[in-house]
Amino acid sequence: MLHWISPVHAAAIPSLVSRRTRESGTVTSAIRSTWRSPSDTATILLIIGGDVIARALAQLAGPQLVPVAFSFGWVAYAFATLANISGDGRLLPPPDYDVKLFNPASGISRDNRSWVLGRLVRDMEGPLEPGIGISLSIHLVTSGGPPTFDFWYYLGFAVMLGQLGLATIPWILYGDWSILMLTASGIILCLLTGSLPQWKLEKFQARLLSSRGKGKVVALTVGNGSRHVFVIVDPGRGMDLEDLASGQSPLLRQQPKRWISMRARTQIACGILAFLWMVFLITWTSVDTNPWFVVAIGGSGMLHNVLVAGVKRKPSASGIHIKLVDSISRTKTMHGLMDAEMDYPGLGEVLLDEFFPTAHLRENEELWWKGDRAPYDSARPQASLVKRSNTADAEQARQEYAIIVKRKPNEVPSQPAVISPSSSPPLANTSFH
């Protein structure tokens, strides 16, 4: 079959086969060597995943100690932060969930620029009963205390202790203390990064309503097409959420007169930390013994940070202490806004343009919103008329709302019908309160 091959080419075949065999053996050996001692891989992993670190820090920032575990990605994050702080002056990432804020008292709406409010709405949203067109949940602020420490906060310290425990194993078994030294150094750098004072100032950049002696009502929603609206009634106990939503740049914040500004101090601190992380990376590359312990330590921290960056948390963990007191759930969005307007005057009106542009309202709908409600209410199906909630909490919320917006609740339709709970279900996501 090989009669067409010249003698010269035929003689070269054994050498080519031998060469390919050697190359195949070299590749196999390289793969085997990498899995036996992945020291180079661990070094590469250290410079990826900085965006996860940023979101994890934003989630837990606020307390003096922020337990974001040592993991792969910290070096990349340190230099990205240095660039950000030298530019717009921000440590916090922009909100990753689009939210709009409405003020029923003033009729003003604005796009949210706060990480806290974006995550608040994302975490409070939940599944609704089939057929529900809109659900307006009314929440009352109970206090203005600091953020509470939840499971995810304490888990960070547990992971750090576990990392130190893993790092002691090669020291005990083989006398290799370098991994313990590097792990402890990395954890210290993580804690120093999270303890920068600007984290708290930037995350909770809002005036306190208690210091101003006034209350405020805001409605939060993703916007047209969303089935959730979260109304927060604050009699004057917590933060001004409208202030918080503005997301004022640290560059515009008025600071006490000092010889060095907060921004300059943060820039200097971030520069020093970036330099220390670079020293850490160079030192890390010198570790070529027991590399699987290094991978396990960094991998456990990365798993923790990924979970923290995306996990749903209670509102109190972000310093917003609220409880659910009332819920208006309707199959038709227009009916939900109308019923909200009856119990909480101004609320349905401020949301109307978002969900129903006034140019597209029907004639009887326009009359209803102008005050002539009888024609629309008389034609409305009886099954859609629901009695308002008369619980003590709901009554308190309506009273506080009326005081803040300076408008009394309207009279309910003349012949409301009580419908089954399945037609007007409470907000499904009540586990937060």
Cα angle 267, 91, 241; round to 5: 135
pLDDT tops 60 at residue 9: no
What's the rounded Cα separation, in Å, for the pair 421 and 416?
15
Average pLDDT value for residue range 383-398: 83
Torsion angles phi and psi, residue 368, rounded to 5: -60, -45
Average pLDDT value for residue range 251-259: 60
Torsion angles phi and psi, residue 110, rounded to 5: -155, 155
Q: What does R_g of the chain's alpha carbons equal in angstroms?
A: 30
Position 88 scores a pLDDT of: 80
pTM of the complete model: 0.82
Position 112 scores a pLDDT of: 95
Between the alpha carbon of residue 384 and those of residues 93, 332, 399, the distances in Å are 43, 9, 25
Which residue type occupies 428? A
Please choose, from the candidates 236, 351, 262, 281, the residue with its C-alpha nearest in 3D space to the C-alpha of residue 70.
Answer: 281
pLDDT band at 19 (very low <50, low <70, confident <90, very high): low
Position 431 scores a pLDDT of: 39
Position 86 scores a pLDDT of: 83
The tokens for 292 are 């699987």
pLDDT tops 50 at residue 296: yes
pLDDT band at 210 (very low <50, low <70, confident <90, very high): confident
Between the alpha carbon of residue 373 and those of residues 154, 328, 329, 370, 419, the distances in Å are 54, 19, 20, 8, 21
pLDDT tops 60 at residue 63: yes
Surface-to-core class of residue 36, CB atoms within 10 Å of its CB (0-12 exposed, 13-18 middle, 19+ buried):
exposed
Of the listed ranges 79-93, 220-234, 242-256, the least confidently predicted one is 242-256
Cβ-contact 218, 106 below 8 angstroms: no
Please choose, from the candidates 260, 248, 270, the residue with its C-alpha nearest in 3D space to the C-alpha of residue 86.
Answer: 270
SS3 call for 47: coil
DSSP string over 89-109: ---SPPPSS--EEEETTTTEE
**8-state DSSP, 4:** T
The tokens for 269 are 């601190």
Percent of the chain's residues with pLDDT above 90 = 55
Position 93 scores a pLDDT of: 92
Q: Greater confidence, 258 or 291?
A: 291
Q: Greater confidence, 425 or 126?
A: 126
User: Which pLDDT tens digit goes with each residue over 366-377?
Assistant: 999 998 988 888
Q: Where are the domains of the chain?
A: 39-95+149-205+254-315, 103-146+209-243+318-423
